[in-house]
Amino acid sequence: MRKRRSPSASASAVFRSIRSFVEEHDTLSAIVAGSIVFRLFYENSEFGFVSNLTSVSRIQEGLRFSSVADAVYVSNQPPLVLLFYDWVLSCLPLSLFNILCDAAGSLALFELCRLNLQHESLVEEPIERVMDERIRPPKILNRLDNTNWKLLVAAAYFVNPLSTAVPSTQPLSNFLVLLSIMFALRPSRNIPASMSVLALATYVTWWPIGLLAPLLCCLSQPADPPESSNPSPSSRRPKLAPAGTVILGLTAFASAMGLLLAVSSWTVSPSHPTSWEWIHHSYYHWATFQDLTPNVGLYWYFFAQIFSRFRTYFLVTFNVLPFLLVAPILIRLKEIPVAAIVSLVSLFNILAPYPTFGSVTFSFLLMLSCPRSVVRLRFISMFCLIALPVPSVLLVAFWRLWAIKESGNGNYVYFQQLAYTVFAGLIALDFLSASVSRIKALKLTRKPAAKLKTS
């Protein structure tokens, strides 16, 4: 029997690992420590960093009421989110909670990068050795140290200046999204855990439901390729058929989501647990853009200009549009579902009615978990990435002139938002194009090998 370590021994092992990490990466440790100190004593509520959908100040306004139904009506947040943040704010400061969420999210992103890089090296690296030079990825990929790459991606997520010290629910929702993807990529393919966490993320903010299909596709794939000579121990377990995986995943997601909705209804009205009026003040309120004020996106300006009789048509169009992209992207990138997930996250955040600077940069950081697609990006992505800070800074400056000093014009804000959205959209589309080129290169290299085997 293996002896279980005592808590003191486990704590000492953790402290030893932290000490060795600090000694090996002193510069990175100093940056992380500086970020923690900065976030503890500074709160950024500027325009573009917090939206009405994710603002914790709205939650605090709702928590002033003793009734949960009144709190939902004021804050436009689901009941369990209100109760959870009520418990969190009574136990520790919001800045410390967001630091813990981002730290856990960076660990989940580190593990996500490790699992994805491991799978890519097993599947694609043998094919890249015999790939034609004209379609082979750049040589920088061969010199990439996977350990340092994973560490840099996780550290960049934690010290991201556009999402640090922001009083919003975004750190929690980002962590849940990363955790659900990580569970789907593990060799054990933990279907109930991945789907349950995805249901939690969907409950907090509705858009992660668009990741249901690509996550099921990822769970249906084998952990190791058939030609792998050293399969992982967990991949030797008997696996479900793809149809069984889809059924189990949908059942787990529907059960978790149904349980959350049922508990929410009981919390709002214990005497009438079948009342769903709180959905009208939360999810329906989000979908109808009733609280759409100037933000980083384009929807607020569009809905300020259209006639009221066309509002219902465009509400349906803009709510359905991101979900119409799920099927074509998944069909085209079904061989590399992680790239499909990253592409969908990017498009959902860019086309969201309440976007922020942090949500868009979260998409860019998630792209770094697919280095074989990143190295195939064209010059247009580099140009857009360099040009992106210009409309970002001008957007905040023009908004202050317009809304605070009342000496500007709303059209100036819209033009900077248009430039920001175009630059971010071009990067997302170029990543999608690079992933498609990556699949084409793999298929072109596999075809001659298949012909040789048959002959």
pLDDT tens by residue, the chain, 455 residues: 445 555 555 445 544 554 555 555 556 666 666 666 667 666 767 777 888 888 888 888 888 887 888 888 888 889 999 999 989 988 888 888 888 888 899 899 988 988 888 887 777 777 777 776 677 776 666 556 556 788 888 888 888 877 766 788 888 999 999 999 999 988 877 888 999 999 999 999 888 999 999 999 888 877 655 444 455 544 444 455 677 888 888 999 999 999 999 998 888 877 666 678 888 888 888 888 888 888 888 888 888 888 888 888 889 888 898 899 999 999 999 888 899 999 999 999 998 888 888 888 999 999 998 888 888 888 999 999 999 999 988 888 888 888 888 777 788 888 898 999 999 999 999 999 999 988 888 888 877 654 444 44
Q: What is the dihedral of CA 197, 198, 204, 207, to 10 degrees?
A: 170
71 is written with which tokens? Answer: 């709190």
Contacts 24+ apart (CB under 8 A), 225-234: 225/122, 225/123, 227/126, 228/122, 232/187, 233/187, 234/186, 234/187, 234/188
Phi/psi of residue 270, each to 5°? Answer: -60, -30
* Integer Rg of the chain from CA: 23
3-state secondary structure 73-96: HHHCCCHHHHHHHHHHHHHCCHHH
